[in-house]
Chain A
Amino acid sequence: MKGRRSAPLLAYCLRRLAQAIPLVLTVFVINFLLIHAAPGDPVDLLLGGLDSDPAFQEQVRRDLGLDQPMSRQLWSYLANAARLDLGYSFRFREDVGTLIASRLPASLLLMGASFLLSVCAGIGFGVVAAYRAGGAGERALTVLTLSGYSMPVFWLGQLMLLVFAVGLGWFPIQGMVSLRAPSAGLDRVLDISHHLVLPALTYSVYQLTLIYRLTRVKMRETLALDFVKAARARGIPELVVAFRHALPNAMLSVVTIMGLHVGHMLAGSVLTETVFSWPGMGRLMYEAINARDMPLLLGLFTCIAVTVIVVNVVTDVIYAVLDPRVVYS
């Protein structure tokens, strides 16, 4: 049984990956068009208005091949991208790839923590709401979640700061570690966790909202199906029916739709990191915008766009693995 399924599954994965290639190419073409269609000289743009002598500008122009014909430039741009060379930031005097890599751990920590939080809370609330349809609790949750996605995430972060950092003084205002009392070992872990609470809460609200809404709707649909009734009739405890029988079925579509929202989630992380001065990729993007550091901005955009494309492929594959009914076509 398993062997019969895995061969078409592998083919499906490969085909899905192949479909993603033109999308990734599109990202690089967009970057290229941005550099060349934007008003102004590409060299000025890439140097970010740094005052530099004409000789240096000429050298940059030659080094980057900007004096060559367009088709040639596009080709060498794509070739660089294929070597994972994201370019050079003249502002930071550093390789764009290195810069991004140095900020990646902080971002992953923030995203991981809030994803965990929103998955647990979103699914939990969703299941409860599916059982208590029409109750006051459900209505309150619905209003809360609607607020959750009508609110600019950075304002939510600022409100958190106002109340919990400025007002009550429970949490630090910004950053990831306290600079006044550098710590090591377990103290450092506690210090980072202390800084992590507010950004992680802020960032998880949108995802939590999304997961909650989807889980509630899908759970309610699933609970009305025959196999759930059959499970209950066999005398299986309701908790087991909910979490072992109904929930996995409801989660199928939740996974797919979550995959479609990954771009939005990454946007949320940029804004959250900016509010809390969290030293991750999002904060780097904010710095790049305000320094007019175009090579860095392009590199970050490339990473984000490729991540979104890859996540889309991965969610499709997960869906195919989870749902035996999927026809691989």
Chain B
Amino acid sequence: MSRALEVNKATYPRRSALVLLVIVAFAFTGRLLSPFDAERVGTGPALAAPDRVHLMGTDELGRDLFNRVLSGTQVSLFVGVAAAFAAAVAGVLVGAFAGFTGGWTDDALMRITEVFQVMPRFFLAMMLVAFFGPSLVNVVSAIALLSWPQLARVVRAEFLSLRSRDYVEAARAAGARDLDLMFMKILPNALGPAMASGTLLVAQAILIEAGLSYLGLGDPSRVSLGVMLHQAQPIMRSAWWATAFPGLAIFATVISVNLVGEGLSERWQPQTR
């Protein structure tokens, strides 16, 4: 490949990781710039355009959009990371056992994984949240429950190729137990690809949460970017800022997570490019 591409590969992930860090830091410290309560009504005039007091303007109830966007971003990040983490733990466990043991355990686990993979994720998450109630815990659990199969398959593939390597055989010959082999010898070498697809899961989880809350399935006790966008639609004619900024926050977060994820997967799976 050309040199230009190599430069891209090396710098894009690092640069996007930096952008992501800035976003995360800003979501938690941005309040210092403009300390309004995100939930409070009437912090200023209703539908005020962005100015030096209300950095992103206000909505129809006079709530400060800047602080609402910050809180919403925190919630999005929490949902993304928590769901991806839970899915990663489940996926690594299933994938490790399936790949390491092989045989009928592998077959059975992979059949179950396939069933989960075919089911449309967004809609199943939607049904779970609609029936069990839209609390943040339910949203995170629903997304995690539907996201682990992707990771399980990645980890299983790594285990399949690693389990008969010489260094594993050597450890086995030296008397290492199966659990040691799995988690101390093989897993560390399978973590790279798992991290890469785990990062992409964070981005997907954030988008799913945004979609669910836009449709009216967000946790009503939290500020959510999806809910904000839903509320922005009736006032679109008079307040473009209510639509522009919450969406921009989702977009910036998701694209930087995606870029980091792509960088990681290019690093760990050179054969896919």
Q: Which residues of A contact B (CB under 8 A)?
A: 22-23, 26-27, 30, 34-35, 37-39, 45, 133-134, 146-147, 149-155, 158-159, 161-162, 166, 262-264, 266-267, 270-271, 274-275, 285-286, 289-290, 292, 294, 297-298, 301, 304-305, 308-309, 312
CA distance A155 to B119 in the complex (A): 25
- A285 / chain B contacts, CB cutoff of 8 Å: 215
Q: Shortest distance in angstroms between B153's beta carbon and chain A's nearest beta carbon?
A: 12
Given contacts A267-B211, A289-B217, contact A312 B255 (CB under 8 A): no
| Interface, chain B (partner A; CB < 8 A) | 2, 4-5, 115, 118-124, 126-128, 130-133, 203, 207, 210-211, 214-217, 226, 229, 232-233, 236-237, 240, 243-244, 246-247, 250-251, 254-255, 258-259, 262
Measured CB to CB, the nearest residue on chain B to A266 is: B120
- Contact check, A161 vs B216: say whether CB atoms are below 8 A apart: no
Q: How far is the CB of A22 from chain B (nearest CB, A)?
A: 8
A162 touches B240 (CB 8 A): yes
With a cutoff of 8 Å between Cβ atoms, the chain B residues found around residue A301 in the complex are 123-124, 126-127
* CB–CB A152/B214 < 8 A: yes
Contacts of A151 in B (CB 8 A): 247, 250-251, 254-255
- Kindly provide the distance from the CB of B143 to the nearest chain A CB, expressed in whole angstroms: 13
The 5 A-B pairs of least Cβ separation, nearest first, read A263-B120, A155-B247, A267-B122, A150-B255, A38-B131
Question: What are 16 pairs between A and B in contact, CB < 8 Å?
Answer: A26-B119, A134-B4, A146-B255, A152-B214, A152-B250, A155-B247, A158-B229, A158-B233, A162-B236, A263-B121, A267-B123, A274-B214, A289-B126, A289-B215, A294-B131, A312-B118
Can you name the residue of chain A whose Cβ is closest to the Cβ of B248? A155
Using Cβ atoms and an 8 Å threshold, which residues of chain B touch A294?
Answer: 130-131
A273 CA / B133 CA spacing, docked (Å): 24
Is there an interface contact between A275 and B118, defined as CB atoms closer than 8 Å?
no
> From residue A32, how far is it (CB to closest CB) to chain B in Å?
12
Nearest Cβ distance between residue B265 and chain A, in whole angstroms? 13
CA distance A162 to B233 in the complex (A): 10
Given contacts A150-B254, A152-B251, contact A271 B215 (CB under 8 A): yes
User: Other CB < 8 Å A-B pairs besides A38-B131, A289-B216, A305-B124, 15 of them?
Assistant: A23-B118, A45-B131, A134-B4, A147-B251, A152-B211, A158-B233, A162-B244, A166-B237, A263-B121, A264-B120, A264-B122, A267-B123, A286-B215, A289-B130, A305-B123
Residues of A within 8 A of B128 (CB): 34
Say yes or no: A152-B247 contact (C-beta < 8 A), given A263-B120, A289-B126: yes
Chain B nearest CB from A245 CB (Å) reads: 24
Q: Complex Cα distance A286/B123, Å? A: 12
Cα(A151)–Cα(B258), bound, Å: 11
A225 CB to closest chain B CB, in angstroms? 17
With a cutoff of 8 Å between Cβ atoms, the chain B residues found around residue A289 in the complex are: 126, 130, 215-217
- How many Å lie between the Cα of A152 and that of B118 in the bound state? 22
Contacts A23-B118, A155-B251, A159-B247: A39 and B133 contacting too (C-beta < 8 A)? yes
| Chain A residue at minimal CB-CB distance from B132 | A38
Taking CB atoms, residues of chain B closer than 8 Å to A275 are 233
Residues of A within 8 A of B133 (CB): 39
Q: Do A39 and B132 have beta carbons less than 8 Å apart? A: yes
Whether A150 touches B122, Cβ cut-off 8 Å, given contacts A134-B4, A155-B251, A158-B247, is no
**Residue among A30, A159, A298, A305 making CB contact with B243, cutoff 8 Å:** A159
- Chain A residues near B4: list those with CB within 8 A: 134
Across the interface, do B215 and A304 meet the contact criterion of CB distance under 8 Å?
no
* Inter-chain contacts of B255 with A (CB < 8 A): 146-147, 150-151
- Select which of A154, A159, A292, A297 is within 8 A of B127 by beta carbon: A297
Max count, chain B CB within 10 A of own CB: residue among A22, A39, A150: A150
Closest chain A CB from B234 CB (angstroms): 11
Are the C-beta atoms of A155 and B215 separated by less than 8 Å?
no
* Pair A308/B2 contact, Cβ less than 8 Å: no
Most chain A beta-carbon neighbours within 10 Å: one of B120, B226, B236, B243: B120
A146, B233: Cβ atoms closer than 8 Å? no
CA distance A161 to B243 in the complex (A): 10
* A166 & B233 in contact (Cβ 8 Å cutoff): no
Most chain A beta-carbon neighbours within 10 Å: one of B4, B122, B244, B262: B122
**Min CB gap A10→B, angstroms:** 23
CB distance from B50 to the nearest CB of A (A): 15
Name the B residues within 8 Å of A161 (CB-CB). 236
CB distance from A134 to the nearest CB of B (A): 5
A266–B211 alpha-carbon span in the complex (Å): 13
Chain B nearest Cβ from A15, distance in angstroms: 15
Residues of B close to A292: CB separation below 8 A: 130
Q: Which A residues are in CB contact (< 8 Å) with B250?
A: 151-152, 155
Q: Which residue of A lies closest to B210 (CB)?
A: A152
How far apart sit A104 and B18, CA to CA, in the bound complex (Å)? 46
CA distance A107 to B83 in the complex (A): 31
Which residues of B lie under 8 Å from residue A155 when comparing CB positions? 229, 243, 246-247, 250-251
